Structure 1
Amino acid sequence: MHLKNKTFLAINTLLSMGSGLITPIMTLYIHNDLHKSLVTAGYVLLLYSGMIAVGYLVGGRLFDTWKQAPLVYIGGSVAVLFLLLLALLPKWPLLVFFLALYGAGQGLWRSAFSGYMAVIQDGDQDIFNNNYWTSNIGMGVATLLAGYLYSVSVHLVFATTAVLFVGGLVIFARYFKVPRPSTEVSGIDVDLPGKRLPSRMQPRSIAILCAFMFLTCISYEQWESNLSVMMTAQGIPVQKYSLLFTVATGQVIIFQPLLNKIFPHHPWVERFRLMFGLFLYGLSFLLVIGAHEYWRFVVGIVVLTTGEILVTPTIPLLLSKYSDRQHRGFTQSLGSLSNTLGIALGPVVGGYLITLTGYQHAFVALFALQMVMVLLVLALQKTGQPEPK
């Protein structure tokens, strides 16, 4: 597999590893070590996700209207500073304050890199797929390390994350070459030979794609939260539930590189990829309705992950194509914000739905939701077409 823009991908992999070290252990630490309720832990993580979202929005706007490289240094420095404070003083209530500001710094940095990725995409159509692949490798490594580091000391978790982020900043400063748009005249997009670029923003299509990102995250979070209750109620041990996500990570690492060979970069192919992926998201829920056998959950997670492989890198790719050069950073931050909100609200929304209707009806409703989204793909405009007046 040939990877372009290796420096960019290496930095984003370090970012993903850092995020993956902290998230899995925070609920355990707040509940088991600080002796706070699970509800309190949930609110702390909601605040953390909210501050990442704020960082994304502010950073996306600054990326388009201010300076881009300083945004990376500011966001990275804020994140490292509060990671070091977390490593020194992970006590209540300072932890809440430090974690929130770490999230804001992380959001600023990630928004800058989302903007860079949208610019890089002009010369590297595979950047979103490759970034998704390398990020999953980083998350997979981090998931393996998180439990070990936490068993030694929570201080070590925060300190290791700080080291990873410092490494990312050093690589950025020494090796990263800031991408520049191919051609631009007075801030107006110019069509290049062989390329068809959007003449201006297409808000309707951007809104639809952000809704897709939010709702697919809501759906995926049911597997990461409420499915565990359903499985353990069937007598399936927690270890087997955790193994599902090891299978999912391995599936992404093995099969993601094949995506570009199976689905080449053509507008109709990208739409088909999105529609098929959304259908698989919904199908995964139908497969586990009334399930008692573990193999059915394995089949469900494989189908879900196949849908994720198709959908997750396609949405930011299309967001880039539906944006113009002056708003690429902000457009990507809207997609990232939708992702963050879906992750934050998914367990709550799913919990209410399952409580009101039961697992079977909730899963049918989630399947129906995905089918509505499949139809909404048809409402997306052709890339390169202006918004009708």
Structure 2
Amino acid sequence: MNRRAVPSVDVDLYGPKAIGDPQPVYRQIRDAGPVVWLPRHRMWAMGRFDDVRDALRDDVTFRSSRGVAANPVANLLGRQTTLSSDGSTHLNRRMILMRSLTSRALSPSAEVFEAEAVQTVERLLAQDSFNGVADFSARLPVQAVAELVGVQVTPQHMLRWAAATFDALGPVNRRGLSTMHRSFALYLYTLRLNRTAVKPDSWASSIFDAADRGEISQLEAKNMIIDFVAPSLDTTILATAQLLWSLGTVPGLWAQLRNDPSLVPTAVVEAVRMASPIRGFTRTVATDTNVHGVRLRRGERVALLFAAANMDERHFDQPETFTLNRRGSNLGWGHGMHTCVGMQLAKLEMQTLLHAMIPRVETIRVSDPVPLANNTLQGFAAFTASFT
């Protein structure tokens, strides 16, 4: 195809420069056009809010069933997961996962989350400083959620697997190759899973219950465990870390939230927009289509950049600013049929932490940020924080 007539951006979306400082790259893609060609990856990209949202709504044209990664190996291995499915298959798998993740299903766990959140805040108040990621934002997912998933591996093991899985969703670059053995280990682990290897009455056990009822195959059940292991940890951890960082860096923000706790849900949604922990997933064009005068051909791959869309100045007023006055939705949890199944869980965890902090923490200080290096995830790997 002759690409001379279409916008082209010659950047390595997964290179060290774009990973370390992504906003200039996202802006370059947005400014170039609604859909642009990435010659280094031989795929299209969308970075403007309206276009990414529209593509996510159009799951007939932009398909997930051929995988959402930027490389064929990961797309092949992930074909039995909920993320890599469309239509009735996706709806069936999603319904099975949601039995564990609706607000009603999560309500019995609320007290456990609240107790863990209070213990976490009080423990950190007693310390001069702490790691804002490992000691704060990872605490609830690691201590509480990993137990609910019910696979008999350590939470730290789950974290390593999950991060590697997200690395594998990029191209076959040095970063992806260096963690490939871990993502493949998770794949092999799920293939060996059976009911005796998961805790009774756990989320993982509910997947095998569905297989026993004939709702999905045993192979689907094994692969769908990844839908719990990978997304339930990293994305919430990164969004929570962004929340804490913003509370410690935006003047007056923490005082405003303490004075009006009804703004807690707004703070959580805004943190997810700012964090955009998933940089983006790819889709495959199902049939020849035209987007703003650009012809996309059947079989071509398009990167839908949630993180770029969430900072689009065409849609958000001062998108680089964290504000509790912002209204409306964002794409931090995706959109449309593939909206994150764990969204209610993430909201519950983050809101619970804030409610534990409000009566106990007067000031928040943060410093020394270390960015995360991952092909698909973005956010903080670590930073120093303190409570008084």
TM-score per shorter chain, which class? under 0.3
TM-score if structure 1 supplies the norm length? 0.28
Structure whose residues are more often strand by fraction: 2
TM-score if structure 2 supplies the norm length? 0.28
Structure whose residues are more often helix by fraction: 1
